[in-house]
Amino acid sequence: MDCKQLLVNGCKLYNIDIDQIQIEKFIAYKEILKEWNEKINLTAIVDDEGIVKKHFLDSISIISSNVIKENCSIIDIGTGAGFPGVPLKIIMPSLKIVLLDSLNKRIKFLNEVIKELGLNDIEAIHGRAEEIAKDIKYRESFDIATARAVANLTMLSEYCIPYVKVGGYFIAMKGPSSVDEINESKNAIGTLGGKIKDVIDTKIYEEDINHKLVIVEKIKITEKKYPRKSSQIEKKPIL
C-alpha cells in the first residue's frame, strides 16, 4: 500500500477525512525528514511506511483525546522532529502551535519544514522546558501541552503542566505498559495543579502497537517553584 492510501486509511481510524492538499504536505514532510536525517539524527525510523504509521498516524491519534478543538493553542514539548505538533497542524490548520526543543539543529530542521509546507501560526523555539516555563510569555498560556517523550510521567508532568492555563489540558502519549506509572504519578500531578481526567487507548492502522493518551486537566495554578531544575526533577521527583 502506498503512503497516500496509508494516510487515508489510517486517518479513518480516528474519524478524520484527510484531503489531497494535506496528503501532499505529509509526503513533503516525509521527504524533508529523510533528507535531513542523513545530516542530523532525527529518527531511527527511515522507511516510508514506518514514518507514516509510527510518526504521522501516531501523532494524529492524539486527536482521540477529544479535548483538541479548533483554534486552540498547543505547545509540543521536546518535539524532536515535530511530533506530534506538525502532523496536528497539517490535520487542523486553525491550531496555534509552538514546537519546543532543546537542540538547535532540530529547530533549524523544523523551520525548514514550516517554510516548505507553508504552515502559519506555528513557531519552533529553542530552549529547555524547565527554563522556558518560567517565561511569562509561555507560562500557563496554552490550552494544551503535549509530549511524546519517553520520560516517566511524574517527571514529564513537572516539565509540561506549568505551561497549561487553568481549564486546559496536558496530554501525555505513553506506552501500553504504563498503568503503574500513571497511578504513581497522581500525587505529583495534583501537586502541580492537575488531575487525571481520562486514559484513552489508541491504535495505529495495521500495527499491533497500542498507546495510551493520559489526559490531565489543569484545575489550579501551578506553584511558581515548579518546574525545578532538571537535575532536581530527575533526582528528587515529586512524590
Q: Is 63 exposed, middle or buried (0-12, 13-18, 19+ CB in 10 A)?
A: buried
Beta strands 164-174; 210-218: pairing state: antiparallel
Q: How far is CA 122 from CA 87, 91, 98, 168, in A?
A: 12, 13, 6, 19
Q: Which of 71, 123, 150 lies closest to 132 in space, CA to CA? A: 123
Is residue 80 a contact partner of residue 106, using CB atoms and an 8 Å limit?
yes
* DSSP secondary structure code for residue 219 in this structure: -
| All structural domains of the chain with their residue ranges | 3-235
Q: What is the pLDDT of residue 63?
A: 95
Give the predicted TM-score (pTM) of the model: 0.96
Q: What is the pLDDT of residue 74?
A: 98
The CA distance from 37 to 109, in Å, is: 9
**What's the distance, CA 187 to chain centroid?**
23
pLDDT digit string (tens) for the chain, length 239 residues: 799 999 999 999 999 999 999 999 999 999 999 999 999 999 999 999 999 999 999 999 999 999 999 999 999 999 999 999 999 999 999 999 999 999 999 999 999 999 999 999 999 999 999 999 999 999 999 999 999 877 899 999 999 999 999 999 999 999 887 888 999 999 999 999 999 999 999 998 888 878 899 999 999 999 999 999 999 999 999 98
Q: What is the pLDDT of residue 216?
A: 98
Report the CATH number of the 3-235 domain. Answer: 3.40.50.150
The CA distance from 100 to 170, in Å, is: 15
The number of beta carbons lying within 10 Å of the beta carbon of residue 51 is 23
Q: What is the pLDDT of residue 54?
A: 93
Residue 215: strand, helix, or coil: strand
The CA distance from 184 to 155, in Å, is: 11
Q: What is the pLDDT of residue 21?
A: 97
Q: Which of 67, 232, 75 lies closest to 154 in space, CA to CA? A: 232
Q: What is the pLDDT of residue 151?
A: 84
* DSSP secondary structure code for residue 228 in this structure: -
